Chains A and B, each alone.
Chain A
Amino acid sequence: MASDTSKLGFYLLLAPILLWLALLILLPHVGLFLVSISEKIGPREYETGFGNYSAFFTEPLYWRTFARTAIMSILATALTLLLGFPIAYYIAKITRGRTKTTLFLMCMIPFWVSELVRTFGWMILLRETGVFSQFLQWAGLVSGPVEMLYNDAAIMVGLVYTSILFMVVPLVTTLDSLDDSLIEAGYDLGGTTTAVMREIVIPHAMPGIVSGCIVVFMLSLGNYLTPILLGGKDSLWFTGMIYTQFITRFNWELGSAFGFLLLALSSLVVFLGLKLSGRSLSETMGRS
């Protein structure tokens, strides 16, 4: 009897997760794939084939946008790491007690504010009539209004801003677990700052670096708001292209193929990152 009720309890617990994963994650992606390999040959008439994928490879605008999105995302990831590492190190190793908690919480602020609001803030700062432009004019550094919006640098600023928290948090966690005495030992044995960084601190922080980079890359790759609003209409971001195919052009078949390509790229990067760090997805993602 007891085992029957516990069996029942087990299946009751199992039901929601199976429904969720099957109906909202697995089947939709199977469906997406099926649509991506069907070609429209007439009204409500389809035939299976890889025509959508070949369209992607033959039309330079498509694959160039894809490559551009990937490269910009890699750049944004590298920049985020470069800018975020000293901050994480400062929080984890230089500050103590209350200052540390405060700084750490301050890093979390962007998480609490909608991405739309953050991007809006950058628009107010960067546009032609924006705060920076007017400040430069007031200071006499430029003679007329300067447009700082709608270029790749603006996209980069926004992408880094949006994702830096996801780099800093895992880095602070891993650097926190690095015992000060290891750094001291490195110095004591004659190491310079560079040597200690390269041989002791960075190898120790590697798990945090990898999981931070994975998350930031994915967020950048899948971002829509920042490139569209800060980069303008011609920002050429791949998610924008997917949106156009789905909503404006109503070409779901091609859009699905684009979606699948984006998914494949982000999965590949996650896979490579995990291989590189020799850790499992559960270990890397489970703690953030």
Chain B
Amino acid sequence: MIPSLPQSPFAKWAYRAYVTLFFIYLGLPLAVVSVFAFNDSLFPSLPWEGFTLAWFFGNESPFIGVFHERAILRSIGTSAFVAAWVSVLSVFVGTCNAFLFVRHDFRGKALLYMLMLLPLIIPGVILGISILVFTSSVANTLEDATGLWFDGLRPGLILVILGQFSFITTFATLVISARLQKFDPSLEEAALNLGATKAGAIRQITVPFLLPAIVASAVVAMLMSFENFNTTLMLVGSDSPLTITMFDKLKQGSTPVLNAVSLLLMLASAALGLMSLLFQRKKA
């Protein structure tokens, strides 16, 4: 039960075995994805045909590596573009929300806070179709009224960005609010007392304090945007982000290129995560 209570060696052993099995279960799919990125075979499966880097660097058919596969490279660019916008937008709105909820008291605050949490409990697919339906009807109305085209409101990158932004903002708000709550307002008062302006005090005292949370939420926002599938699927136009491209390829049949992309994705996430961890440790 807990270390201070006697336990039979068998129970202790069985418990450890279960925990070990669990972590194998957790790691196995990721391990096979990584390993088969280096298999010199046309299919990501056994038998092992030997080690190759062709699925990364190859440029001869059928061994076209990630770095020579146009569609994938383009979709990585698209994903990065979307992720950057989503991250900037959601961190900006999240920071505003944090100040609003932590620093201000107003009527309907509790209600607004609950509404802010709503995107957490709306399935991503629903979020996607609701935005799709809404923007399409707005576009229809506007086009009927003006006779102009409103392509921005049709499925495409703008809608993908808005769709991801709509729920990632909630996470950013939560992370930044939590940090702002720990801020001692008397620090800001001290700065004002020492002659700083209100804006100067926020810029020099409060924002540096919030920076770790802002960076963390930006990283999380990027990751969530890169990984998002459900909402994106409903809003995507002709330029598809990486997950959608991979999904389409996966439906056609898997090649080790997908393993190679997956491995790169994992490495990028790990690097991002490590960076934000180091950044927070330095700040804290």
Task: Name the contact of A21 in the complex, choosing from B1, B2, B115, B270 (C-beta under 8 A).
Answer: B115
> Restricting to A162-183, which residues have a CB under 8 Å from any CB of B?
164, 180, 183
17 contacts between A and B (CB under 8 A): A12-B96, A17-B112, A21-B115, A21-B116, A24-B165, A25-B122, A31-B133, A32-B133, A35-B137, A113-B227, A115-B229, A117-B262, A121-B30, A129-B45, A184-B4, A225-B247, A259-B129
B206 within 8 A of A: no
The answer to whether B32 and A131 have CB atoms under 8 Å apart is yes
* Interface pairs A-B: 9 shortest CB-CB: A121-B29, A222-B123, A28-B130, A28-B134, A24-B166, A31-B134, A114-B227, A117-B262, A32-B130
Interface residues of B: mostly helix, strand, loop or mixed? Answer: helix
Contact of A90 among B15, B115, B117 (CB under 8 A): B15
Contact of B223 among A12, A25, A112, A246 (CB under 8 A): A112
Question: For residue A260, which residue of chain B has the nearest CB?
Answer: B126
Task: For chain B, give the interface size range.
Answer: 35 or more
- Distance of A174 Cα from B282 Cα, bound (Å): 28
* Contact assessment for B28 and A125 in the assembled complex, using a CB-CB cutoff below 8 Å: yes
Determine how close the nearest CB of chain A comes to the CB of B228; give it in whole angstroms: 9
| A204 on interface, CB distance cutoff 8 Å | no
Tell whether A54 is near chain B: CB-to-CB under 8 Å. Answer: no
Contact B130 A117 (CB under 8 A): no
Q: Summarize A's interface: helix, strand, loop or mixed.
A: helix
Complex-state Cα separation, A185 to B246, whole angstroms: 54
CA distance A47 to B162 in the complex (A): 30
Report A-chain residues with C-beta under 8 Å of the C-beta of B110: 282
**Is B126 a contact partner of A262 (Cβ separation < 8 A)?**
yes
Please name all residues of chain B whose beta carbon is closer than 8 Å to the beta carbon of A77 when the two chains form the complex.
none
Interface residues of B in 153-173 (CB under 8 A from A): 162-163, 165-166, 169
Is residue B226 within 8 Å, beta carbon to beta carbon, of the partner chain? Answer: yes
Rounded to whole angstroms, the CA-CA distance of A184 and B4 in the bound complex is: 8
